[in-house]
Amino acid sequence: MKYARALAFALVAGATIVSTGCSVARHQQTVGSYVDDAGITTAVKAKMAEDKSVSATSISVETLNGTVQLSGFAKTQTEKDRAEAIARNTKHVRDVRNSIVVRP
């Protein structure tokens, strides 16, 4: 029983590594930039969660090669602008694409 659980875990871990390796092999993104992008996304989300003027649950954050893509919904233009400012002022962000829709 112990070995079955260990084998299942190893298979899941191996599949994760292989799927990440495939995207790297297709020249989409390096492992290092993937890790950096994940850190940027986490930092932007954390800053939005701390900011009372931004609804972090309504805004999606994705990062690719240092470019942050914001999407989702904001209640006001001010909230949309604030979310963009938070992303722009996050370390290692190269560019921000703001696709947030204002919906009162």
* pLDDT band for position 82 (cuts 50, 70, 90): very high
Pairwise CA distance, residues 79 & 9, whole Å: 42
Give mean pLDDT, residues 29-34: 66
pLDDT at 18: 47
- pTM, whole model, 2 decimals? 0.69
Give me the helix-helix angle, 31-50 and 77-88, nearest 10°: 140
Reported as a pLDDT band with limits 50, 70 and 90, residue 104 is confident
| Average pLDDT estimate for 9-16 | 52
Domains, in order of start, for the chain: 30-102 (3.30.1340)
| Cα-Cα-Cα-Cα dihedral sign, residues 98, 75, 72, 63 | positive
- Which residue, among 77, 79, 60, 73, has the nearest Cα to 101 in the 3D structure? 73
